[in-house]
Amino acid sequence: MSCIQVMNSFYSLMNSIERGTKMDDIKLTNRLLSVIENDILPLTMRGVDRGNKVFGAAILRKSDLSLVIAGTNDETSNPLWHGEVHTLKQFYELSERPDTKDLLFLTTHEPCTMCMSAITWAGFDNYFYFFSHEDSRDRFAIPHDLKIMKELYGLEPGGYHRKNAFFTSRSIPEMASLANEPERSDFENRIAEIKATYALASQTYQSHKGETGIPLD
């Protein structure tokens, strides 16, 4: 094989790997958005009516992206029942459950320090989030994640390791922005709709704020 042929086969291999990754990411982004739209948001809309925060989560199988469980914040019952921890609690109440190394963790908002530790202690090697910590502060008037990171650990926004020895975390809107057309436009439209629905959920939550006895409301 000539040098040029070797280089050509190398480039075609790299292209197919890149395409494969993109296809997987498109399938994954599509599925993560669907789970937020169809499984988490209906639970959260009911949760905010009861005075709970807007945060939700879900657990999916890596193998076929099927849903194991979805959940939402229930801080009016227990201030530790953040969307992620409450979903994990319900996951461990299932009579049969897959090994967490075979599962994906989806969270609507980048987790607080308690929740990212809980995801780690439960043995997940990943989480995917929709809204960032900065979004929680700026869009939802819930600045506690960033305040706790700063006060307890001296970390500025974005200062923790999103990729580390335990897990790799990824932003769903960032994954969507890397897709090619026509998928990217479809994702952007759905992301805009999801944001609009969360803005309504946030209004409902804020209207109950102060009445529910949640310590950090």
State the residues that interact with Zn ion by CB under 5 A: 82, 112, 114-115
Euclidean distance between CA atoms 173 and 47, whole angstroms: 24
- Min dist CB 176 to Zn ion, Å, is 24
- Min dist CB 62 to Zn ion, Å, is 23
Euclidean distance between CA atoms 135 and 143, whole angstroms: 9
Euclidean distance between CA atoms 75 and 70, whole angstroms: 16
- Min dist CB 81 to Zn ion, Å, is 9
Closest to Zn ion by CB, 48 or 115: 115
Query: Can you name the residues that pair with 103 across neighbouring β-strands?
Result: 61
- Strand ranges inside 62-167, DSSP E: 67-72, 103-109, 126-131
Q: Which amino acid is at 24?
A: D
Do the beta carbons of residue 29 and residue 47 sit within 8 Å? Answer: no
Closest to Zn ion by CB, 82 or 133: 82
- Min dist CB 210 to Zn ion, Å, is 20
Do the beta carbons of residue 72 and residue 47 sit within 8 Å? Answer: yes
Closest to Zn ion by CB, 112 or 176: 112
Note the Cα 183 to chain centre separation in Å: 20
- Min dist CB 115 to Zn ion, Å, is 3
Closest to Zn ion by CB, 30 or 143: 143
The two beta strands, 67-72 and 126-131, are unpaired
Closest to Zn ion by CB, 79 or 98: 79
